[in-house]
Amino acid sequence: MYQKIAIITGSSSGIGKAFLELVAGDNGEFFKTPFDEIWAVARREDALKELASSVGNGRIVPVVADLASDSGISLIEDKLRTEEPVVGLLINSAGMGIKGRVTDKSSKALDDTIRINCSALSQMIRICAPYMKPGENGHAKIINIASSAGFLPQPGFACYAASKSYVISFSRALSCELKPKGIDVMAVCPGPVATDFQRRATEGKETDFNDWRKNFVIDPVKLSRKSLKASVRGRRMLVYPFSQKLLHLASKIVPISWILAFESGAVKE
């Protein structure tokens, strides 16, 4: 008997954890039939084990993998090959970014950002898609967590913003490639979200958003709920909340030279 599963990367904290808890506790709000297993992918084994024991009635399977490494992707690929599940939902939420000028950053910081945000997300889709097909819940779903940072170049956070532009563009193209196979792909573009992200991005210097962005911070559970609903409706892109829709519009109509002039003044040492 095949297993119908969901796979959620970055599920040890923040947005991925909120997705995991919602999918594990789903009683028909999003999907008609629940998943037999939810593979929770991240590096922190303790956090995944704690989640597995507290939600999902034993259906959460911790998958400890470093997505910045080839072996992390191979581990998941081997597990898929061995178990041959039907993957009904893939959420790519693992992500990172380190703030500061590119020339001040280590080779590893840049490389990991591109590997996790771009390469691992693409590889996860490549290895999961052969196991994805429509079922009782309609089309299989892929949700990629991009960011409103992907709308514009961002001096002081250049590699991260560029990596999220990749996620938006990649998701849009894949939504056309995979639709005929019964797989819907959606990119989610939030502004600031209340997670550990800012602490990690500033290497512990700031725990929360404390500039003008603090007025726009949203709750990860609210974002995840909104994303699941939009994905079930077959949306290609979710820009949330309204403040980020305005930013999206501005990114299309305001000359880029003006935006860069404004942003350059905000680069922190």
Ligand X SMILES: NC(=O)c1ccc[n+]([C@@H]2O[C@H](COP(=O)([O-])OP(=O)(O)OC[C@H]3O[C@@H](n4cnc5c(N)ncnc54)[C@H](OP(=O)(O)O)[C@@H]3O)[C@@H](O)[C@H]2O)c1
Contact residues for ligand X (CB under 6 A)?
10, 12-16, 42-44, 47, 66-68, 93-96, 116, 145, 147, 190, 192-193, 195-197, 200
Q: Which residue has the tokens 């519009």?
A: 249
Q: How far does CA 247 lie from the centroid of its chain? A: 20
- What is each CA distance from 262 to 82, 154, 183, 232, 265, in whole angstroms? 52, 10, 40, 38, 6
- Complete DSSP assignment for 228-263: HHHHHTT-SEEEESHHHHHHHHHHHHS-HHHHHHHH
CB of 42 to ligand X, least distance (A): 4
Cα→Cα distances 63→10, 20, 99, 118, 151, Å: 11, 13, 28, 20, 32
Q: How far is the CB of 60 from ligand X (least distance, A)?
A: 14
Cβ proximity to ligand X: between 4 and 124 the closer is 124
Nearer to ligand X, 32 or 214 (CB): 214
CB of 240 to ligand X, least distance (A): 10
- Type of residue numbered 20: L
What is the CA angle 109-114-116, rounded to 5? 90
What's the min distance (Å) between Cβ of 84 and ligand X?
Answer: 24
**Minimum distance of ligand X from residue 196's CB (angstroms):** 4
Would you say 181 or 213 has its CB closer to ligand X?
Answer: 213
Q: How far is the CB of 162 from ligand X (least distance, A)?
A: 12
CB of 131 to ligand X, least distance (A): 20
Residue 236: closest CA among 177, 193, 194, 196? 177
Q: Name the residue nearer to ligand X (CB basis): 88 or 192.
A: 192
- Collapsing DSSP states into helix, strand and coil, what is residue 34? coil
Taking the C-alpha atoms of residue 19 and residue 59, their distance in angstroms, rounded to an integer, is 14
H/E stretch holding 15: helix 14-24
Nearer to ligand X, 68 or 98 (CB): 68
List the structure tokens of 150. 């992907």
Nearer to ligand X by C-beta: 33 or 215?
Answer: 215
Tell me the residue type at 261.
A
Smaller CB separation from ligand X, 4 or 239: 239
